[in-house]
Structure 1
């Protein structure tokens, strides 16, 4: 173990000691906006974004994204459905519409809730021009002021918060130091906690936040081992994040009148379980992405000035866990979702 890794482990331990972490159609008869059934509101990043990120910025609007569902690019960072689609399925809801489409879709679509997530964003400002978590919540709060949604809606609705690592990618990209990483993780969890409290103050009675997935197993991290093994240092960072998040959520529930307001969806365990036993979900390729650039300078969906493809796509996305360098395939999400179902996902959401 080199000196940097030793210093990192010592700092992680010190900080831990100091800190003490496909939608289904709804049942017939729901034809008006403010129905007593639950609605789903999504905040976060590309793991749950279903189209908010502009076409000018996102590869998610380019071929070959969406080849599995809906068989064309539609703004999802996958070949098909993403996590928010599966959460909606559990609730028996159609996937909430992206915020940017709110004024052009029929009003009855609003009864399912709304998706404010934006690819590439974090709890802090990242390199994208998209709204961070606080700005997304502010956009939602504006709809409350406009009476698009009412306090009665919120009391029966669910807020899902996705934090999947963009703050940490940005930290590394802007020369963030390894010794400073633990304190930065603490600041990310602190801001995430502030966002959860903000959602509660608006009126949500049920708020679910995703634990961080094993970043060391993303193709971006496993490429250096030819997609053969996960990066344990990155996963140690994730463990620190999730431990702090768990502590924070536990404290929030203890301070809340309803001790079950806040819940963590354990994506780390879901990812790890599938990646440790991919064959149980008919996954044959667990770490290598299905879609990747022909060289390191290109990403999935890249084309050159002559519109010539600079990426390759595997033959069977349904047998591959990862779609691109950061995101699961629809099959990957389905596998994670299946594992979460075994851990009483329905009870977590209700």
Structure 2
């Protein structure tokens, strides 16, 4: 009779522990919050939408750190959307253009971002923000994502400066920039409202990073210092964006937030050694002569670029984009600033 009693208490203990473990697992799921991530914007979050016949992202040496070959990300490895998904405990959402090839990943959300795009038409090859949201709305109408899915989701929107780069290309100067910044913010606000009204629980947007520190700009000083004129214009953008988000939060009783990329970028660039980074303003991948950029080759497929010895110690990958190490440093800084916690609430 002694053995059956031992077995009885053994199984009773198992039942108790299994229930306790189940509650712990359930708590962890609740802790992470959103079960789906929807991404809109540009190359800072594009994980493979841009077509292979376009420059960068699908060309060597992009992707050499992760996954070891070009995979559609504008970096040597992961980009910011990958880190947001990581923070939420999700797999990176499937790129819209690859959704039919990866149907099992639809449950984590979807990435609609395309390199080079803005809220306005900045390129004839890739869809602007309005069209990206059209894609999203179409999937909702097709019941790929239900109201229940959207009620437990978050959207991240990246507006990283392509509208301003396009403006400078067309106009050749920063004259008239302040009024143009206001028009960009107005359109961005309309886009955020539209995403929210489609049923997404929370919409996050990145504040504009210090454009004056991008290698494209710092090349004029041999990558020695940031351009404060450009960064002052960025401050106008971010101030107007903050005002807009404050109003939206009042109207919708929450539901919107800004991820402060300006302060996080600036902090990492000012204290690179904290993150084991060196030569923080010099891009790892750079054209070997004027007019050539990372990934360019001549007619004989001879490389017209060079890559630094160790991308893991560089903040910038090319003239515009951080390395995976750069994004990881920004992500760590944002965590230290407690700037991501609202993504889970």
Q: TM-score, normalised by structure 1?
A: 0.88
C-alpha separation in 2, matches of 1:332 and 1:346? 17
**Which of 173-182 and 68-77 deviates more?**
173-182
Superposed, which structure 2 residues align to 1:29-40 within 5 Å?
A: 38-40=35-37
Residues 1:28 and 1:51: Cα distance change in structure 2 (over 3 Å): farther
Are 2:92 and 1:95 equivalent residues in the alignment? Answer: yes
Identify the residue that residue 273 of structure 2 maps to in structure 1: 279
C-alpha separation in 2, matches of 1:182 and 1:176? 15
Listed one character per residue, the Cα deviations across residues 214-261 of structure 1 (whole Å, up to 9, x for unaligned) are 0000000000000000000000010000000000000111111xx220
SS of residue matched to 1:41: strand
Give the drift of 1:37: 5.5
Are 2:66 and 1:69 equivalent residues in the alignment? Answer: yes
C-alpha separation in 1, matches of 2:223 and 2:126? 30
Gaps of 5+ in 2: 1-23, 27-32
Identify the residue that residue 178 of structure 2 maps to in structure 1: 182
Identify the residue that residue 326 of structure 1 maps to in structure 2: 320
Give the drift of 1:108: 2.3
Are 2:77 and 1:80 equivalent residues in the alignment? Answer: yes
Are the counterparts in 1 of residues 260 and 339 from structure 2 also a CA contact under 8 Å?
no
Are the counterparts in 2 of residues 265 and 348 from structure 1 also a CA contact under 8 Å?
no
Are the counterparts in 2 of residues 121 and 128 from structure 1 also a CA contact under 8 Å?
no
Are the counterparts in 1 of residues 37 and 154 from structure 2 also a CA contact under 8 Å?
yes
Query: 197, 205, 216: which is aligned to 1:201?
Result: 197
C-alpha separation in 2, matches of 1:334 and 1:64? 19
Are 2:197 and 1:163 equivalent residues in the alignment? Answer: no
Query: 213, 216, 238: which is aligned to 2:212?
Result: 216
Are 2:287 and 1:290 equivalent residues in the alignment? Answer: no
Superposed, which structure 2 residues align to 1:1-350 within 5 Å?
A: 38-105=35-102, 107-175=103-171, 177-256=173-252, 259-350=253-344
C-alpha separation in 2, matches of 1:238 and 1:216? 8
C-alpha separation in 2, matches of 1:28 and 1:48? 30
SS of residue matched to 1:42: strand
Give the drift of 1:200: 1.1
SS of residue matched to 2:110: strand
Q: Which has the larger Rg? A: 2
Identify the residue that residue 13 of structure 1 maps to in structure 2: none
SS of residue matched to 1:57: coil
Give the drift of 1:74: 0.4
RMSD between superposed Cα atoms in Å:
1.5
Gaps of 5+ in 1: 1-26, 30-35
C-alpha separation in 2, matches of 1:275 and 1:304? 33
Listed one character per residue, the Cα deviations across residues 273-316 of structure 1 (whole Å, up to 9, x for unaligned) are 00010000000120000000011210100000010000000001
Structure 1 stretches (4+) deviating beyond 4 angstroms? none
